[in-house]
Structure 1
Amino acid sequence: MTDYKVNFKKLKSRVGVDDIAYALGYRLDRKAGVGRYIELVLGDNGNKRDTIIVSNPNNKSAQAYFRRDGSKGDVVTLIRENLNAFPVSGKDDWQKIAKVLARFANMPEPEYREDSDYVKSVKSDAVFDSARYEVKPINPERIPAIFSQRGFSEETVKALAPFISLIRDKRNEKFDGYNIGFPYTNGKDDAIKGYEIRGHGGYKSKAAGTDSSSSAWVADLSNGNSGMVKSVFFCESAFDAMAFYQMNRTQLGSDVALVSLGGTFSDKQITGVMARFPHARAFDCFDNDLAGRIYGLRMMALLEGVPMKINRKTDVLQIETKGKTFELNTERSLLAQVSKHLSIRYKMGQWLPPKAFKDWNDCLLNRPMEVIHSPHKDEREQNLTGRRKAGLKM
């Protein structure tokens, strides 16, 4: 029997994460923009089963992916996660993976060519081009209606207006109006590295080529005295950060900064922002879901300088760090639980949305998460009586 040999590096140069994802049924989310990253979604709006963010969409050999819950990998990882979806046989997983790669390396693109061609057509937008966008400031006398629709007061919009723009994509032939743009910077200079974009009807996107790896939306309320900033509040979106500010403004003061990561989490976003505010403490204000709790843990690990592997389980998170393994209940304070196992310097704080709400903007709008509860005894008896009466009428 001959040894099974395969050049994985050569095959990976021809088969990208996107090829495997498209074949598994993922489709391009064009609203998320195309630049250094693309978002591929499995399932439709009403039933999104998974979303992966793929880097280097036009360079197969360099492609990798991550999810917002912290999991990540390359094309081999994605194949291995879904090995049962491919009709191949082999003596072990590696041989099966090699066969899948070899098959895709010699396959023409099937029905997802339209998505693939779309990504290639905006290849030039891998770097943010400010000339593509027309940008103007918010007029305090004519505040766009989208802000009030999201629960924001005129006072909030006017206070944060220096960090918000109106933005129009000159290349967008389908929409010639302005959206709301939240400029991304990296703190090294004043250059804008892209925009988080929000519009009517729930529209959200990022400007083409936006740097989401080391830049973020940062609203420094210290009037330029960054050394005086004491607290930095990290949220998943700019609207969440605005809502957090509006609901807690009386407690915040002016020695604070608001930050949006724009739905992604990059180590350089966190460390880059905190480098701007050397005397500040970071606060986890992320969403009340599993991804939000993992974001908080990853930020804690970064700020404490503690390597941490986070594994998802059904209703807990398993942590591996410094030779220890322990589990965390996501319903309880992560800081308190981690402190029982590790010596942490408490560099990070938490200021989470109230438990009934997914995020700060939902809290501002008073839109609690749907809670499924078992009926009380009186309700059960009333329901039973109702069913009996309905049965008698029949």
Structure 2
Amino acid sequence: MSVNDLSYQDYLDRINIQEVLLYAGYTLNRRDGMRYPSFVRIGSDGCRIHGDKFIVTQNGNTCFRPPEQKSYNVISLIKSFPGMFKEHVGSSNPDHLVNEVCRNILNIPSEERQGRIIEPRKEQKSFDLNNYTIHAFRKYDFEGIKKFYPFFITRGISLDTQKAFGAHFILTTKESLDGGKSHTNLSFPLYVPGNTNVVGLEERGYPRLDGSSGYKGKALGSNSSEGLWIAALGKQDLSDATDVYWFESGYDAMSYYQLHVKDNPSLEKAVFVSTGGNPTVGQMQHMLAVTPSARHHICFDNDLAGRQFTENLKGEIHRIALSSVVVTPERKPYLDSIPLSQDYAKGDIDTLPKPLQDKYAKYESAWEESMSMRQSHLCYEGDIREQEDLSRKLYKEYKDSVRDFLGIDSRKVIPFVREVPERGKDWNDQVLLEREDSLKATEEEETRSVASGIDLDADGEIEVNESEEKKRVHFIKR
């Protein structure tokens, strides 16, 4: 599906109600606590406008405006309150307004917005893999592997990487119902974590003749709100997974593996998942629930959207930790001070019991000392590292104390790390850039080899000193 064919369901899958409220100029009202986040509008005098307030419910999927109890989702909120959005000026078509607001939130460039607006599909049939002709990847079927070549060669993905993931992608062909031309796509099957039924496909079409990316989207009827592409390379049960790597596409997951497996052989038994775009609440909740022992590596793109997706996933991880907290009068002031979707240790220190405040003060003092030592340029590096280790140790002690104070079950605290490519927007960009560097180096090496065999003084003899001189000059130019 191209950006011109985004449907209402795509907007509901990719955007949460809080993003819409923030875009409309509302501000999170921290005084209302964390169970039901509220958003208010601030006037020109810096004060809250009374009566202009929305309460967010259903994990960020809907909201209501008290005292009304009517719930709004992303689409109905925009249509019901068009004046909240700057795109309303000059637009009388509510569908056009929804289209413009949602695409601005998704940061889709204006030159890509010329397509039609697609209404929500009515009576859409559920996805059925039996409607497709399937060609599987088999490691030792060379003729069969050739059919996958066009999809991977332009991406710089090696045959070894294809073989490592071969059980987790297929070619799918669906005959056109009107007798038109059928299309074959590279497809990454989608599963609801913990279930073995294929509920959709993340699809990639043949690259265009100019080498640019072709069609990308999801198969009609796919369960985009819960389905993920899941590649468990070690063939272990998800409940036993030790490392889960999150990406926006199957191509990026394979690229990451190719870039790192040599230095990190444990990837050969890791679990790779693709959300196929914006991670939905359903995708995150299901995957986190079935991988209780895993460390999660958040490898979304290094752009604005990828950073937002990262915050969404981190927010869900933090929500799970806080879900085990029993609210008591002693804990409530601190709980209410924790910013929305933030870690349990990010609340107001002054609302904690005195012993915990003292632990934080001890950590902060050690951290300030380590910063002062590093910035002075007068201290031995070993001493600086020792001080930094001390500050990290003290912070861990403080954070553990906060966890104990809140009564958080340690099994609910999910470890995670954010990883971004060193070059390019995403992991496949890095693969392509490194391939380009390798090709340039090969070409330069060939140039040096040819140059070393040139008869510089045209006497019919290739002399050693001529050869070495040419090599030296060429090296200096680099």
What TM-score do you get using the length of structure 2 for normalisation?
0.49
Q: Amino acid of the residue matched to residue 37 of structure 1?
A: D
Q: 1:8 — aligned with what?
A: none
Specify whether residues 353 and 87 from structure 1 end up closer, same or farther in structure 2 by C-alpha distance, changes over 3 A only. closer
Q: 1:80 — aligned with what?
A: 84
Match 1:226 to one of 225, 232, 238: 238
> How far off is 1:130 after superposition?
2.8
**Deviation by residue 1:41-80 (Cα, 9 ceiling, x = unmatched):** xxxxxxxxx9xxxx9xxxxx998449xxxxx954346651
Q: 2:191 — aligned with what?
A: 185
Q: Distance in 2 between matches of 1:63 and 1:209?
A: 24
Q: How does 1:319-338 map to 2 (within 5 A)?
A: 320=340
Q: Amino acid of the residue matched to residue 278 of structure 2?
A: T
**Does 1:295 pair with 2:295?**
no
Specify whether residues 196 and 79 from structure 1 end up closer, same or farther in structure 2 by C-alpha distance, changes over 3 A only. farther
Q: How does 1:1-394 map to 2 (within 5 A)?
A: 29=3, 36-37=9-10, 64-65=73-74, 74-76=78-80, 79-82=83-86, 85-86=89-90, 115=116, 119=119, 123-125=122-124, 127-140=126-139, 141=142, 142-143=145-146, 144=148, 145-171=150-176, 175-199=181-205, 200-201=207-208, 202=213, 203-250=215-262, 251-253=264-266, 254-305=268-319, 320=340, 347-366=414-433
Q: Any stretches of 5+ residues in structure 1 without a counterpart?
A: 1-27, 41-49, 56-60, 67-71, 89-99, 105-111, 308-318, 326-335, 369-394
Specify whether residues 347 and 207 from structure 1 end up closer, same or farther in structure 2 by C-alpha distance, changes over 3 A only. same
**Matched position secondary structure for 1:301:** helix
**Matched position secondary structure for 1:259:** strand
> How far off is 1:160 after superposition?
0.5
Between the two proteins, the alignment pairs up a number of residues equal to 275
**Deviation by residue 1:187-235 (Cα, 9 ceiling, x = unmatched):** 3421111000001232201100111111100001121333331000001
Higher helix fraction: Structure 1 or Structure 2? Answer: 2
**Deviation by residue 1:266-309 (Cα, 9 ceiling, x = unmatched):** 122112112232211111101111221222122112112268xx
Q: Distance in 2 between matches of 1:192 and 1:184?
A: 6
Q: Any stretches of 5+ residues in structure 2 without a counterpart?
A: 14-22, 24-60, 62-69, 98-112, 323-338, 349-391, 404-409, 436-478
Q: Distance in 2 between matches of 1:362 and 1:81?
A: 35
Q: Distance in 2 between matches of 1:78 and 1:257?
A: 43
**Matched position secondary structure for 1:37:** helix
What TM-score do you get using the length of structure 1 for normalisation?
0.58
